[in-house]
């Protein structure tokens, strides 16, 4: 897609399946168009009813709401997420889960000389943090016992099914759902699994008498129904776990291919400590570079309410789906220069040794405009703390023969995981 967009001056306009549905779609990676859609003319480009239908497992929440409902939900979330007590509490939770959850598992893997799927490891690690953040309960998904995590698999099945919904005619995937076949069959099972795990965790939390001062209860007090609680908690966990674990997986894949990057990160940590995250500029830059090349959300979708004209001159008709090609944007010469294909953390560091501020409409991994991700800082805290701990204390050896390729999914997962050996540097 990046190559096609580069040849097409960053924008493609076409009718998808016109003989069936007449759907009008525009795909763009032009930063000026992105700014127009995501910010300048934001009110004209909501996610729309079809997006909510494609992502119906998440229910009715901040992540799927539009217009006045979205403004209300976002105001509540912003008040809580921007509070210093939230940041202090989350920092404490992240480091606690690293020391009492992740480190013992890494030690066990190293001592037993096991091969581990890093993607699975990160999914379980971040999942525990997300459950604690949302309802105050730790399911201990990450442990030295090798066991399948039901909700992570359910989210993966949901992501694949949602991608299929976006890529086929509307009436066709609805027919699949009615017949209970293909990805829709897996999606039905995934929804049932997610609902079951949610109910089970709520029950166990109540039985164990947790004093829950968590995200849902402090932020979405207006959603008093069981379904409202379920939708907000599931959406938060999905947004936290799938995206963060995806970036960490591709980060370690990229670092393994560029040993000099790992050496510089390790030197930087040695000069301070893994806990001093604000001083780890090069690590932050390496994560930004990973987000550029492997954004967890490879596409963003919006629907035009009224006709419009983009800065590129393309005319948008009412009802047109505008797709922001996030993944392609990170791989375009016109956006990043001649070295766009290189994994180069240095591009994110100024001559004064600080992180370079790149406009959100050029670097859209966290979305852009009013709907920019509110959890960006939390995501960096989780990623930097996890990556710093692992790189400083362990040698991560990715199996060379293992294929690393993405799934067809709305989240940029690895199709076959990321298999690796982990060796303790201090033994």
- C-alpha span between 299 and 303 (Å, rounded): 13
pLDDT higher than 80, residue 276? yes
Quick one: angle between helices 226-257 and 118-135, nearest 10? 150
Assess whether pLDDT exceeds 80 at residue 25.
yes
**Burial letters for 179-206: b for 16+ Cβ neighbours within 10 Å, e otherwise?**
eeeebbebbeebbebbeebbeebbeebe
**Is a pLDDT exceeding 60 seen at residue 391?**
yes
Judged on CB neighbours under 10 Å (0-12, 13-18, 19+), 414 is buried
Q: Is the model's pLDDT at 98 over the cut of 70?
A: yes
Q: Strand pairing partners for 365?
A: 367
Label the pairing between strands 23-28 and 321-324: parallel
How many contiguous H segments (helices) and E segments (strands) does the chain have? 17, 9
Q: What is the pTM of this model?
A: 0.93
The pLDDT of residue 204 is: 79
Nearest Cα to 239, choosing from 144, 166, 134, 169? 134
CA–CA separation, 62 and 265 (whole Å): 36
Which pLDDT score, from 0 to 100, does residue 216 have? Answer: 53
How far separated are the first and last CA of the chain, in Å rounded?
46
What tokens were used for 378? 């939390």
Q: What does the pLDDT read at residue 142?
A: 93
Binding residue positions = 373
Distances (CA, A) of 18 to 14, 163, 168, 170, 339: 9, 19, 12, 12, 38
3-state SS track over 125-183: HHHHHHHHHHHCCCCCCCCCCCCCCHHHHHHHHHHHHHHHHHHCCHHHHHHHHHHCCHH
Walk me through the domains of the chain, giving residue ranges and CATH numbers: 2-424 (1.10.630.10)
pLDDT 10s digits, 61-70: 888 888 888 8
pLDDT of residue 198: 87
- Residue 209 exposure: Cα atoms within 13 Å on the Cβ side: 0
Percent of the chain clearing pLDDT 90 (strictly above): 65
Q: What is the mean pLDDT of residues 374-401?
A: 95
Examine the pLDDT at 221 and tell me if it is beyond 50.
no
Chain Cα centroid distance, residue 94: 17
For residue 222, name the pLDDT band (cuts at 50, 70, 90): very low
pLDDT band at 254 (very low <50, low <70, confident <90, very high): very high
66, two tokens: 């539009």
Long-range contacts of 3-7 (CB under 8 A, 24+ apart): 5/29, 5/325, 5/328, 5/332, 6/332, 6/333, 6/334
- Element spanning 322, H or E: strand 321-324
Q: Which residues contact 25 (CB under 8 A, 6 or more apart)?
A: 13, 14, 15, 16, 320, 321, 322, 323
Q: Which of 188-197, 229-238, 350-359 has the lowest mean pLDDT?
A: 229-238
User: How sure is the predictor about 392, in pLDDT bands with cuts at 50, 70 and 90?
Assistant: very high
Instruction: Looking at 314-413, list the stretches that DSSP marks H as alpha helix, in order from N- to C-terminal side.
Output: 326-329, 333-336, 376-393
Q: How far is CA 26 from CA 15, 34, 86, 336, in A?
A: 8, 12, 39, 22
d(C-alpha 204, C-alpha 113), whole Å: 34
- Which residues fall in the annotated binding site for heme? 373
Q: How many CB atoms lie within 10 A of CB 386?
A: 25
Distances (CA, A) of 393 to 115, 188, 274, 396: 17, 42, 10, 10
C-alpha to C-alpha distances, 376 to 10, 210, 233, 373, nearest whole angstrom: 27, 27, 18, 6
Range in 208-217, 303-312, 325-334, 369-378 with the lowest mean pLDDT: 208-217
Give the pair of three-digit tokens for residue 318. Answer: 């009412």
**pLDDT at residue 364 is higher than 50:** yes
Residue 137's pLDDT is 86
Q: What is the DSSP letter of 406?
A: B
Q: Which long-range contacts (CB under 8 A, 24 or more apart) does 208-212 make?
A: 208/137, 210/135, 210/136, 210/137, 211/136, 212/135, 212/136, 212/137
């Amino acid at each position: 897609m990046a190559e096609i967009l580069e040849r097409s001056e960053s924008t493609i306009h076409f009718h998808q399946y016109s003989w069936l549905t007449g759907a009008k779609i525009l795909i763009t990676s032009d930063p000026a168009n992105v700014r127009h859609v995501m910010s300048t003319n934001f009110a004209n480009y909501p996610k729309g009813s079809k997006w909510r239908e494609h992502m119906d497992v998440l229910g009715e929440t901040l992540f799927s709401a539009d217009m006045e409902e979205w403004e209300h939900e976002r105001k509540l979330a912003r008040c809580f997420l921007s509070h210093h007590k939230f940041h202090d509490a989350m920092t404490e939770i992240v480091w606690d889960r690293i020391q009492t959850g992740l480190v013992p598992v890494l030690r066990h893997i190293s001592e037993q000389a096991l091969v581990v799927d890093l993607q699975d490891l990160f999914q379980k690690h971040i999942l525990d943090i997300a459950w604690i953040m949302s309802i105050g309960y730790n399911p201990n998904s990450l442990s030295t016992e090798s066991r399948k995590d039901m909700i992570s698999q359910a989210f993966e099945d949901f992501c694949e099914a949602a991608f299929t919904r976006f890529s086929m005619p509307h009436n066709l995937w609805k027919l699949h759902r009615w017949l209970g076949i293909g990805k829709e069959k897996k999606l039905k099972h995934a929804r049932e699994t997610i609902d079951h795990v949610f109910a089970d965790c709520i029950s166990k939390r109540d039985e164990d008498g947790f004093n829950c001062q968590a995200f849902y209860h402090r932020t979405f007090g207006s959603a008093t129904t069981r379904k409202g609680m379920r939708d907000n908690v599931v959406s938060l966990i999905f947004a936290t776990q799938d995206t963060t674990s995806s970036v960490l997986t591709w980060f370690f894949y990229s670092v393994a291919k560029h040993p000099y990057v790992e050496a510089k990160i390790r030197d930087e940590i040695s000069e301070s400590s893994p806990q001093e995250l604000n001083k780890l500029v090069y690590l932050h830059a390496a994560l930004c570079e990973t987000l550029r090349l492997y954004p967890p959300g490879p596409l963003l979708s919006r629907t035009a309410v009224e006709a419009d004209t983009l800065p590129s001159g393309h005319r948008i008709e009412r009802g047109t789906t505008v797709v922001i090609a996030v993944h392609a944007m990170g791989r375009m010469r016109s956006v990043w220069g001649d070295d766009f294909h290189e994994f180069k953390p240095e591009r994110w560091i100024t001559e004064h040794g600080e992180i370079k501020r790149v406009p959100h409409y050029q670097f859209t991994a966290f979305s852009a405009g009013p709907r920019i991700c509110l959890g960006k800082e939390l995501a960096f805290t989780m990623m930097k703390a996890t990556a710093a701990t692992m790189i400083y204390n362990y040698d991560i050896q990715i199996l060379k023969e293992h294929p690393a390729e993405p799934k067809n999914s709305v989240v940029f997962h690895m199709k076959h995981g990321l298999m690796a050996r982990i060796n303790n540097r201090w033994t």
